[in-house]
Every structure is written in C-alpha cells, then in structure tokens.
Amino acid sequence: MHENSDLFSPEGREDLATSPPRGGKTSRRGAAALAAATVLLLAGCSSGGDEEGGGSAAGSAEPANGGKVDPGSAEARETIASQDVSTLGTDLHVAVHSLARGAKTVELTFSVTNTGDEASDSLWSAFARHAGSYDLSGVELVDTANGRLHLTATDDEGACVCSGNLNTVDLDPGDSLLLSATFGAPPEDVESLTVRIPTVGSFDNVPLG
C-alpha cells in the first residue's frame, strides 16, 4: 500500500508529468470498439492521508466516474482546470472536473477528449507509474503547503483504485473518456492541490470540493 512521499525526497522530485508515454501501441479502432475504462473497488486502501502516515478507507466504494463517454450522450460537466496537449499521435483536451474530498479520501475526476483530426494511439501506460500498468497509477496530487506527494490509493491486492484497462482504449476524433482516481486525503486545512498527470502536465491550485 502506498503512503505519501515527502515532496522533496528523490521520489518526490520525479517529474512524471513530463515523462513520455510508456509501453507500446496498438492499431487504431473505430468508436464501436472502444472499451469502457474500468474501476477497481476501494477496499481498505491506503495512500497516506497526512504526515502521520495514515489515511485509509474501510469498506467498499466504487468511483462512479470511470468510463468512456459516448459523444453527445453525457451531460456537461463543470471544468475547474484544463490543458490542450499534443500527444499520443493527436491533439487532446484534458479537463479536470472535480477533486472531491471524502472523510479519508479524495477522488479526482478528469476527462480526455480527442480534439485532433486523427485517432489517438492506444492509451496503454500513458498515465501509469510503470509500463505494463494500464491505469492511472502515475497520476499524483501534490500538497505544496506541507511538502507532501500523494500517490494513488491501492486496494488490499496492491492494485490502483482508479480507472484501468487503458490498453484497450484509443480515441477517435471527438471522442471523450471520463477517468477517476482515488487518493488519501490531505489535512483538513488544505484547500487546494496540484494535480500532475503523466504526458499532460501539472494543474496548479486545483480546489478541493
């Protein structure tokens, strides 16, 4: 199970947000073949909630936001931060929709939309911490006020509590993918965090809701 890392330790210095995509790529698929990104159940996960090393969540709670959004079928979501990037063979618009605080956890929800003219490469390990992990395990929350780095929570089997199976997903022009990841909550007085997404970049001062 992950615990928070000191932001100023060697691990904390790792700039995953600017790292190139890891893993290979597959052939492009049509929209009908796009698979929904799955979510893992939150069951006693721990990513460290504060400097005492704590935050864990008992029981099960499924992050409800992971999955592919069919064009035109989803209600508009509020965007609190966004970036346009050229990566994975096309142009992408990445929007952070919420950073929702729970009792001991924080759930990040963001979307990736293909705004280019070409289908994207398969997402594979683009957002993962390690090649071969087709999930959002490389996404991080940075508490700059306390110098703490929050990694994605893991379940009892060590799996990321986040959207996964991204090796099955590519995006045709106009397609969007809604993704979520769960983290240990920072101290109650922390009102905003920096979100770092590999291959995309950093979103500074994202408010906790």
Each residue's pLDDT expressed in tens, for the chain with a length of 209 residues? 554 544 433 333 333 333 333 333 333 333 333 233 322 223 223 333 333 222 333 333 445 456 666 554 456 789 999 999 999 999 999 999 999 999 999 999 999 999 999 999 999 999 999 998 999 999 999 999 999 999 999 999 999 999 999 998 999 999 999 999 999 999 999 999 999 999 999 999 999 99
Is 204 strand, coil or helix? Answer: strand
75 contacts: CB under 8 Å, gap ≥ 6: none
Task: Give CA–CA dist 183/69, Å, rounded.
Answer: 23
Is 164 strand, coil or helix? Answer: strand
* DSSP-derived secondary structure for 30-99: -GGGPPPPEE--EEEEE---STTS--EEEEEE--TT-EEE-TTTS-----SEEEEEEETTEEEEEEEEEE
Boundaries of domain holding 112? 5-207
| Domain total in the chain | 1
Q: What CATH code is carried by the domain that includes residue 81?
A: 2.60.40.1240
| Residue whose entry in the numeric block shows the structure tokens 């992950």 | 2
